[in-house]
Amino acid sequence: MMFGLLRRAKPVPLAPLLDLHWDGRELRLACTPGALVEVALELDGCHFTSLVPDAQGVARCTFAFAPSGTDTLELLPRAGRDGAALAAGPLRLEFGKAGLVAVSAGWRRSPLAPLAASRLVPFGRDVAAREVAVVVPVHDAPALVERCLAALRGHVDAATRVIVIDDASRDPAIAPLLERAAGFARVLRNEVNRGFTATANRGIAEADRADVVLLNADTEVGPNWLAGLRRAAYAADDVASATAVSDNAGAFSVPELERYNALPDGWTTEHAARAAWHDAGLAYPELPTGNGFCMYLRRDVLDAVGVLDEAAFPQGYGEENDWSQRAAQRGLRHVVAGNVFVRHARSASFGDERRATLGRAGMAVLRERWPRYEDDVARTLYSYERRVLDWRVRRIHADARTEAAPLRRLLWVGAGAPAWRDAEVWNLRANRARNELLHAGKVVAASAWIAHDPEPSYRALWDWLQLHAIEALLVTEARDSVAEILCGLLGVPRLRIAAPFGESAAAALRTAEWLPPARLPSDSR
């Protein structure tokens, strides 16, 4: 009986796949030579990558780290994406362990978990202290501008400056719309149309010493967008820019490149943004350029390489690529903040035909100035980190068919955590000689507590705040505890809520007091 079960558990390849082998890190597939143009790998029911067999019919895929953040995955090879299955059924692979077995009945996929390759802000770096100015060039398209500004109003704090510049719009609806925005934004106007690039440069100058986010007026931001960009930009000293991902932003579209990607049924931008924040991962793929639809520029890099070239790219379409290449010449990198989702209409001011014309003109300049640029794009566009990001978003979308929309993720320290159904309340508690992070009553992470050497425990909490995408810290009174100080450095807001807590997070947060960031006692700011 036991040997019969083992036989049934063996993987059964289907022609033209002859054999497949997993050594714990690399998958090797042997096919009938010439029979397949490509072999697609499906992980947990979602497309991961496509492989081209060599002349001998062999295709290989090396996994630098587990895409799901867990040790096991469900694998199904196919004859091209969405093609016929090349195995009798899904197979289970385990990272670090050789061999494949057939998935047994009742086996359940694990939820997405933090990636082993996550790039975190170095311990103690005060990213929240960086002043940021969001620059929004505007030209017509009032409905989209109104949507953009409404989202900004709801998702920036009082410390963030918003600079809106009207580039001589002709639509009469723009002026009254921007008048209403003057309550939370600084509104400027070009007397004549100067073009996108000159308008963006004006905003960069108006920002003075602040870091800058270039944000198109046809975008819609969601929760945690600015915190995510800022952390990505300061995760390493050699990062020049960080760009969000989108449903419709060319190479920054997820999960499918260069396409419009519909959101799951019933989802809003807020749902998509929160899902990416929770589960897209922090691997931060790299590209040789950012994208000005939503691009964070560090001020020290602006000082080093200058502003955008408005003479060569007056209407945009190439100006951020050129700036990025100038930064890359100095050994600096441009990262994709995959956990920051921003919706994008695209071509609202120009239309598709005009955008294509401008794109061709801009590319001609880029080819002349940076002859290796397109090769660098091709080399990085399908990096392992990028394939992992796209796959995780596909899984997020697939899971949305059967799971509830994502909720706010809030942290409570100690006993007596609120029990709300409209938020995820995570609990940080001391349990004898260790600190534990709990969600839904289960220990998600733990670290040893050593009274005479607490720093390792503080470092663990610092990592947990990032890896588990905590959105806010709940307190009933300000204590300037270690948890409050670390949250303050990372830009995690602390909210004072009144007890008794009430029946919902929504009610508690409506009346919550936003407290200033906690600082170390020696911090004189």
pLDDT tens over the chain, length 525 residues? 344 444 446 788 999 999 999 999 999 999 999 999 999 999 999 999 999 999 999 999 999 999 999 999 999 999 999 999 999 999 999 999 999 999 988 888 999 999 999 999 999 999 999 999 999 999 999 999 999 999 999 999 999 999 999 999 999 999 999 999 998 999 999 999 999 999 999 999 999 999 999 999 999 999 999 999 999 999 999 999 999 999 999 999 999 999 999 999 999 999 999 999 999 999 999 999 999 999 999 999 999 999 999 999 988 889 999 999 999 999 999 999 999 999 999 765 556 677 778 788 899 999 999 999 999 999 999 999 999 999 999 999 999 999 999 999 999 999 999 999 999 999 999 999 999 999 999 999 999 999 999 999 999 999 999 999 999 999 999 999 999 999 999 999 999 999 888 889 999 999 999 999 998 776 544
- pTM for this one? 0.95
Mind spelling out the 3-state secondary structure of 147-168?
HHHHHHHHHCCCCCEEEEEECC
Q: Which CATH class is domain 2-102?
A: mainly beta
CATH of domain 130-399: 3.90.550.10
**At a CB cut-off of 8 Å and minimum separation 6, what does 265 contact?**
400, 401
Sorted by where each begins, the domain ranges of the chain are 2-102, 130-399, 409-515
Q: pLDDT by residue (tens digit) across 326-349?
A: 999 999 999 999 999 999 997 655
Q: What is the spatial order of strands in the sheet that 472-475 belongs to?
A: 442-448, 434-439, 424-431, 409-413, 472-475, 494-496, 513-515
Architecture of domain 409-515: 2-Layer Sandwich (3.30)
Query: Considering only CA atoms, which of 281, 255, 244, 283 is closest in space to residue 155?
Result: 244
For residues 406 and 181, give the distance between their C-alpha atoms in angstroms, rounded to a whole number.
Answer: 30
Map residue 113 onto helix, strand or coil.
coil
Judge contact between 347 and 250, C-beta under 8 A. no
Cα-based angle 489, 230, 117 (whole degrees, multiple of 5): 90
Total Cβ atoms within 10 A of residue 300? 13
**At a CB cut-off of 8 Å and minimum separation 6, what does 491 contact?**
127, 128, 227, 230, 231, 517
